[in-house]
Structure 1
Amino acid sequence: MNRPEPTCPAELTLEFIEGRWKIIILWHLAQGVKRSSQLSQAITGISRRVLTQQLRQMEQDGLVNREVFAQVPPRVDYSLTPLGESLMPIVEAMCEWAHTHRIPLAKYYLM
């Protein structure tokens, strides 16, 4: 089934970063190459299964590079592709917005 043409161009961006974890994964990978175990430890609340699903989807979408090293035990590194890096200004703008509006947003964490 074909998706309808988006009415707002931002909708295309949202298709790449939809969900709770993708922005957080992007932010951590922007800090440098990470293994899935490092991401799992750094991202509070994400299960291994969900992390793996999100990384696979982000790899399919061209946002994340997965590099497998043939060694025992196997090692897999994740990094941002140029397309993934191009999303970082959006992520940084979201971080800046959160810092600017920290006081009004605090009520959501106090519930």
Structure 2
Amino acid sequence: MNESASDENFLDCPFASVQKVVRGKWSMVILYFLSQRVLRFGELNRKIYPPVSPKVEYSLTPLGEKFLPVLKALENFAVDYQDYQA
């Protein structure tokens, strides 16, 4: 396989696009905590409240919520893997 064919195959790989979304040291950790409750950071919807002292909250977008089953499956794998390592 030549290099350009390899590049095309890589770009067509669905895992490559997922990797772009969840890459980064904290991305999946932030998604996990946002799935638990509204926080103030991460891949989020931003809602600014206009009172005297500004308050900003973040929550998952619909696309972020759609990713939660995948995140849960990875969490289950991580727990099993921790048990395997012990």
For normalisation by structure 1, the TM-score amounts to 0.62
- How far apart, CA to CA, are the structure 2 residues paired with 1:16 and 1:8? 14
Q: Residue 42 of structure 1 aligns with which residue?
A: none
Q: Does 1:13 align with 2:18?
A: yes
Match of 2:57 among 68, 77, 93: 77
RMSD over aligned CA atoms reads 1.7
Q: Which of 4, 25, 29 is residue 24 of structure 1 equivalent to? A: 29
- Report what 1:68 is aligned to: 48
Separation of aligned partners in 2, 1:18 and 1:105: 24
Per the normalisation by structure 2, the TM-score is: 0.78
Shift of 1:105: 3.9
1:25-104 alignment, distance < 5 Å: 25-36=30-41, 55=42, 58=43, 64-104=44-84
Inter-partner Cα distance in structure 2 for 1:96 and 1:9: 22
Structure with the greater relative contact order (CA < 8 A, sep ≥ 6): 1 or 2?
A: 1
CA distance in 2 between partners of 1:93 and 1:65 (Å) = 24
The offset of 1:92, in angstroms, is 0.6
Structure 1: how far apart are the matches of 2:27 and 2:71? 10
Task: Give the percent of matched residue pairs that are identical in Structure 1 and Structure 2.
Answer: 36
Which one has the largest radius of gyration? 2
Where structure 2 has 5 or more consecutive residues not aligned to the other structure, the ranges are 1-6
